[in-house]
Structure 1
Amino acid sequence: MLEEARTALHNLVASSNSEVSFITNRLEEKNSEIEKLTNAYQDMTHEFNTVQDGTLSLKRQLSDALDELRLTKAKLDDSKTEHNLTRETVKPTVYLIDTSNIQGINEDKLTTAAQIIKFTAYTLDDTRKCITNFNHPPDIMVLHALTNHLKSKSPQYCVKELGDIILSMQQKWESMKMIVSLTTPRSDSLIHNTNGQIINAPMKQSFSEMNVMIVDHSNVAFGGNRTPEMLADDKFHLSTKGIAQLSSNIKRAIHSALGVPLPTRQDRSRFRINRGRGRGTRGRGRQTTPS
């Protein structure tokens, strides 16, 4: 009996060792597979970041080239304006520095009360770099440059950085008026959208104390929620309707800073009539609601 028990125990131990060995081998195989998948994921992430950095670099190069063309155009316009000072009133100049959302804004149609010149800056660093290229200040500087930076930086950091940029400009150009456009809603990321809403409150408080006008885009949302029709398919950039609302909000701020009333429906209708007559056409002009 004792011998049989020993034999049975020996067989049980051998069987258990075999199962342990089998499970250990399987675990090693799975660990190896996990390690390969992890390495593959890291490689793909690295490649994606490289491509993304390259794309952003190309965007910045294109933006720099466009900004240089706009500055050249502005200088030419200034030269023409100086030449014709005795014949017409010089319009105030507004520099609009924004993310890619401004590509949909037609600066010639934004307002007739000022000359609008657009500059694209994807991050606060790009904004700072863009401003260093200005030799002369505009009458008004409009900044809308926080949306992209919030993807990688905290709201507190962004407020401080933008505050430093504003302070440096105010010290350099005391007579220039500043307008800061708050963040717009987004639905591609709950975290990014929440950070965007969080940052608006301290911006209102901090920048109002710095004699800066604030543009609130809460009308792009409804009841605090993102309005789908205001966003593009990527749920981050603004749609055509969203850009139109952004333009309207910025236009109101510009007119307020200039002390110029917004055009009424009658004013805009009269402008269209006169413009039609100037082209040799006749017509009453189509009436539209004000932006």
Structure 2
Amino acid sequence: MEQKLRAINTEGLTIELGIGKLEDEYPNECFPVKFKPRNGKAKYSRYEEIDENLYEETAKMVCFYTSEKRLFYWIKACNILYYDNVSNIEGIDVKWSDNPQTWEDPNGGNSITIELLDQENLLYNVTIFISTGTIRVQGHYYQMFSRHHFPILKGLVSQITTRAEETREETRVKEVTSSTPIQYSPEPALNVSHLKVLQSTLIQSIDKLQISIENNTSSIIDAISKTCAEKIIKTTNTESLQQDNIVLKSQLQQEKEAFILKSRQLEESSKHLKQMLSDTRDELNRANSQVEYLSNKLSNQREELEALDTSNRELKCKLSEVQDELINMKSGILSESTARDNYKTVGASSNDNEQILPSVLLLGTSNVRNINEKVLTSAVSTTKYVTYTIEDATKFIGSCTSTYNAIILHILTNNIKNDEPNECVTKLQKLVAEIKTKWPATKLILSLTTPRNDGHQTASQLVNAMVKQQLLLEKEENVSFIEHHNMFDVSGGGPNLSLLSEDGYHLNERGVSKLAVNLRNAIHTTLKLGLPVNNQFNRSRSRQKNRFRGFPRGRGSYGRGSYNK
């Protein structure tokens, strides 16, 4: 059925252009002298042209408008196409209805609805609004109308317009000939005076038309005038002259109609584009205002975050100092208790020449190469291997057969340069799971990345945050991490450049020393050995006078690296 509708063309139509029943049903009194303004999206529609982008695709609708003079021609074209032709197709039903059934006011809300149905299913409907000249098409097959049936209707309107002009001209000529009969000379000579009158009348009509057409049509009028003059000189029969005159005026009228139609289309297109430009400017102004508001709001929030960040760093520093002091105090108590216990049991263990120390495995990047594991702390036996990446550390763990009380991993620095943050965390999680499976009782210490100034600072901070969040969420037993707060600039929160080498991510001698202190403190805290004590005897002698003052704290020998479990 759809193929039959698409196959309709002008050549196969039954076309009756003469005056018929339709003129009686819709006399001139039914139509307004001037249309009301269109509203909604219809005011952006084009003059006898369809813009399929005017409405959203889900609306399945298109529309256009025509002039007061041509509205009846469109109604007649729809009558020819749908009522006289499409309704004859088997399986297709056409319903024509007036809304309301009786039209009293031509400026009221009168309309004509034409429904095209296929077995009671609506293909599309055509609504002609009499008061505005808007013609709207809606339905699932609206594109069939805009791409196939609309060009046919437009051609029919052109034929109806031409036929109407010819009818009016024939009526006017009949009136002229009936009032002034033509006298023929007995000789075949040309009636020059009558021809001059016709020529004068024709030229005056052409001059009047020339006023309403732009300058670019003057050449067409001149050519037509010249042709008319030549035909008048050569014509010997008055009736043939009148017929030629009608044909020429019809051609001129068609040119005029085409020119006016094109002008209206260009004018409406210009109005449409201007309106779209105005709307776009308004939207841009609103968007700019919104962006400015959001920018100011973001700036204020950024300032608040910076203030909160500064306050947070200060609080962290104070908390770190308090924690260091508390750890040192506990370490002093533990060290004194251990010393007394060792003194009491020295006789019992006199036969043992060597003391069994806890074993620690340190795996790290080139930043741990310069750490002397032999003197890192005397409380444990430390074994160090340089593994540049997480992959290298994974291979080492897979081949390792020894058992350790604690394992320290400082292996994130190089992976951050080549992997995304989530990839780094995923690889580290797999390695942690492998270690926990192989040595369930071993304490695992994850050393977070140290400060850097090589363009990967943000990724480094993000990885640190993700590792901490993962550990806090999963609450892994025997797994802890080290934060190197004492290696950042306290004032700005950025990296302490005095601890970095020229490349921006390798540590210099001072940086390695800070890292070693943080690793040593983590070992003692994880294995509950107590922090190493300097000047023990001096502290013991002064303990009664100023208790615990001999313990280094704050920025002393052990630094302020924060250890979290």
State TM-score, norm by structure 2. 0.32
Distance 1:161 1:185 in 2: 21
Within the candidate set 192, 208, 214, 2:481 is matched to 214
Distance 1:131 1:268, change over 3 A: farther
Within the candidate set 520, 525, 540, 1:251 is matched to 520
1:143 and 2:412 matched: no
Distance 1:133 1:267, change over 3 A: farther
> Which amino acid is 2:384 matched to?
K
Q: Map 1:100-249 to 2 at 5 A.
A: 100-189=366-455, 192-208=456-472, 209-211=475-477, 212-222=479-489, 223-249=492-518
Q: Secondary structure at the match of 2:458?
A: helix
Per the TM alignment, residue 224 of structure 1 is displaced from its structure 2 partner at its CA by: 2.0
> Which amino acid is 2:487 matched to?
V
1:88 and 2:357 matched: no
Distance 1:244 1:110 in 2: 10
RMSD: 2.2
Contact 1:98 1:145 in 2 (8 A): yes
Per the TM alignment, residue 226 of structure 1 is displaced from its structure 2 partner at its CA by: 1.1
Which is bigger in relative contact order (C-alpha 8 A, separation at least 6)? 1
> Which amino acid is 2:448 matched to?
L
Distance 1:97 1:202, change over 3 A: same
Q: Map 1:25-64 to 2 at 5 A.
A: none
Distance 1:127 1:198 in 2: 22
**Aligned match of 2:282:** none
Contact 1:187 1:235 in 2 (8 A): yes
- Asked which structure has the greater CA Rg, the reply is 2
Distance 1:250 1:260 in 2: 14
Contact 1:218 1:224 in 2 (8 A): no
Distance 2:422 2:377 in 1: 33
> Which amino acid is 1:119 matched to?
Y
> Which amino acid is 1:193 matched to?
Q
**Aligned match of 2:179:** none
- What is the number of residues matched between the two proteins? 190
Distance 2:412 2:351 in 1: 38
Distance 1:233 1:268 in 2: 42
Distance 1:269 1:171, change over 3 A: farther
Distance 1:228 1:104 in 2: 19
Per the TM alignment, residue 213 of structure 1 is displaced from its structure 2 partner at its CA by: 1.1
> Which amino acid is 1:200 matched to?
N
Q: Map 1:1-40 to 2 at 5 A.
A: none
Per the TM alignment, residue 268 of structure 1 is displaced from its structure 2 partner at its CA by: 8.8
Map Cα deviations across residues 23-64 of structure 1 (whole Å, 9 max, x no partner).
xxxxxxxxxxxxxxxxxxxxxxxxxxxxxxxxxxxxxxxxxx
> Which amino acid is 2:462 matched to?
I
Higher helix share: 1
Unpaired segments ≥5 residues, structure 2: 1-349, 540-550, 559-565
Distance 1:87 1:216, change over 3 A: same
**Aligned match of 2:365:** 99
Distance 2:432 2:376 in 1: 24
Map Cα deviations across residues 257-288 of structure 1 (whole Å, 9 max, x no partner).
11011122323989xxxxxxxxxxxxxxxx99
Contact 1:163 1:207 in 2 (8 A): no
200-209 or 211-220: bigger deviation: 200-209
Per the TM alignment, residue 117 of structure 1 is displaced from its structure 2 partner at its CA by: 0.9
Map Cα deviations across residues 57-115 of structure 1 (whole Å, 9 max, x no partner).
xxxxxxxxxxxxxxxxxxxxxxxxxxx99433210111100000111111111111101
Per the TM alignment, residue 171 of structure 1 is displaced from its structure 2 partner at its CA by: 1.2
Distance 2:446 2:453 in 1: 22
Distance 1:123 1:268, change over 3 A: farther
Q: Map 1:261-280 to 2 at 5 A.
A: 261-267=530-536
Distance 1:234 1:127 in 2: 24
Q: Secondary structure at the match of 1:188?
A: coil
> Which amino acid is 1:265 matched to?
N
Percentage identity across aligned positions? Answer: 35
> Which amino acid is 1:110 matched to?
L
Q: Secondary structure at the match of 1:195?
A: helix
Unpaired segments ≥5 residues, structure 1: 1-83, 271-286
Map Cα deviations across residues 3-24 of structure 1 (whole Å, 9 max, x no partner).
xxxxxxxxxxxxxxxxxxxxxx
Contact 1:94 1:115 in 2 (8 A): yes
State TM-score, norm by structure 1. 0.61
Q: Secondary structure at the match of 1:143?
A: strand
Distance 1:225 1:173, change over 3 A: same
Distance 2:441 2:351 in 1: 22
Contact 1:263 1:290 in 2 (8 A): no
Q: Secondary structure at the match of 1:104?
A: coil
> Which amino acid is 2:376 matched to?
L
Contact 1:232 1:238 in 2 (8 A): yes
Distance 2:364 2:513 in 1: 15
Q: Secondary structure at the match of 1:196?
A: helix
Map Cα deviations across residues 185-211 of structure 1 (whole Å, 9 max, x no partner).
11122xx11100011112112234213
